[in-house]
Each structure stands twice: as C-alpha cells, then as structure tokens.
Structure 1
Amino acid sequence: MAAGLKLVCALMLCMLVAAAPMANALTCGQVSIAMKPCMGYLMSGGDRPPTPCCNGVKSLVSQARTTTDRQQACECLKSAAGAMHNLKRDVAAGLPDKCGVNIPYKISSSTNCKSVK
C-alpha cells in the first residue's frame, strides 16, 4: 500500500504548490478522498471498479461544477498519476467510462489541464 501513501503525499503536495483556490473551490484533498477507494483497482485493474470507487468518481464529477474546479481536479489527478509508478495507465484513463460518467479530460500524467473547460 506504499503506492497509496505516495498518491496521498502527491495530492497533498499538489495542494501546497497549487495556486490559491477561490473560496469553496475544489481541493486536492477532496480529490484524494474521492479517489481513495479506487487505489487497488488503478494498480491491479479488473473487469469493473468497485462500487465505492465509482461513487467517489461520481462525487468528484458532481463537485467539479466550474471550469476552475475541473482544472483543479485535473491537475490533482495528473500529479497523482505521475507519482504512481505502478499505476495501470490504461485503467486510469478508462475509469470514468467504467463508472458511467463523463469527464472532459483523460486521467493521465500528460493531460493538458489548462485546456479543460
């Protein structure tokens, strides 16, 4: 579970170095909490993500109401994806579809989050 700890640390670091969010803006802490149930699935894959994982993804999507929130969530996920060496990149990219939600970017360390609207 060291990879999980790395993800949490990466997300916490993202919170510290990201530009100061506007009041009530989505934070990397919120992204981390929402995505925590997905850790095992993102590292090992499988047919379907666990229900708590999809609930977290859906919660994250519902919280990211503004362009700023979506860009912030994207930056947090991008940072975490880059920090996890045992992340299955194809599993991460396909997670929203597997959970039945649509997000306007790919979960990847190479995503250009500034283009997210």
Structure 2
Amino acid sequence: MAKSMISVIFICAMLMSLASLGHGAITCNFVNTQLRPCKDYVLNAQTIDFTCCIGAKNVAGDATTPADHQAVCSCLKPFLSSLTFEQLKVAAAIPGICDVQAPFPITRDVDCSKVNLV
C-alpha cells in the first residue's frame, strides 16, 4: 500500500513538472510565424485577413510575462524599423482591429528593454 501511494505521488509530480515545461519562452520563430499574415497586410495595405487576428491573439495569449513582452517587442523591432510612416500607421492599428491589447507602443523607436518595467 505504501509503495503504491509513493508511486502515485511520484507520477503526479512527474506530470506536474511536464505540464510546466509546455509553456516556454517566446521565440521569434513563433512570433514571426503567427504574425506573418499581419506583416503581409501591413506591406500590402489591403483587407486584413482573419488569420492576422488569430495570430495576434495567439501571440498575446502566449506572451504573459514582462520577459515575453520584451521578447515579442525585440522580434518585431527590425520589421517595425523598416516600415514607412504609412505602413507604421497600418501596423499600429492592428491591435485595435483585432481587439488585442498591445503591451508596448507599435513604433520604430520603442525601447524593448523597458517594456512592462515600472
């Protein structure tokens, strides 16, 4: 009986540790893949595709910590820096269109190291 109880506790502990591994750090590959439809929209300025909003919501849902927000910002910074003024306006409108809260301003000069710092 004691051995079976120890086995159950051990298995529960293993499952809990595996569950915590499921949510890792945000990667640029993830951000760029999820936001590719948004980038296409910004560059072509046609009708926004619903997949842009799905991707934006996926990124927002996975980026829950200040470190995640800084990572997303750092991933987007090169793209934002390359945009014209008009394209930047289109990009800045995406959070509102998709009903997603952006944790940092969508601008060229955002300081990603200061995102979510008080």
TM-score scaled by length of structure 1? 0.71
Larger RCO, structures 1/2 (Cα 8 Å, 6+ apart): 1
Provide structure 1 residue ranges, at least 5 long, that are not aligned to the other structure: 1-22
- Number of the residue aligned with 1:17: none
Output one character per residue of 1:85-114: Cα deviation in whole Å (capped at 9) or x when no partner: 697010111111111111121222211112
- Number of the residue aligned with 1:103: 102
User: What secondary structure is seen at the aligned counterpart in 1 of 2:104?
Assistant: coil
- Number of the residue aligned with 1:35: 35
Q: d(CA) in 1 for partners of 2:100 and 2:106? A: 13
Shift of 1:65: 1.1
Shift of 1:31: 0.6
Taking structure 1 as reference, are residues 86 and 44 closer, same or farther at Cα in structure 2, changes over 3 Å only? farther
- Number of the residue aligned with 1:8: none
Give the root-mean-square deviation of aligned CA atoms.
Answer: 2.1
Q: d(CA) in 1 for partners of 2:86 and 2:56? A: 17
Name whichever of 96-105 and 79-88 sits farther off. 79-88
**Fraction of identical pairs, as percent:** 31
Bigger fraction of residues in helix: 2
TM-score scaled by length of structure 2? 0.70
Provide structure 2 residue ranges, at least 5 long, that are not aligned to the other structure: 1-22
- Number of the residue aligned with 1:71: 70
After TM superposition, the structure 1 = structure 2 runs for residues 38-117 of structure 1, keeping only pairs within 5 Å, are: 38-46=38-46, 49-84=48-83, 88-117=87-116
Q: d(CA) in 1 for partners of 2:106 and 2:85? A: 15
Q: d(CA) in 1 for partners of 2:86 and 2:68? A: 24
User: What secondary structure is seen at the aligned counterpart in 2 of 1:36?
Assistant: helix
- Number of the residue aligned with 2:10: none
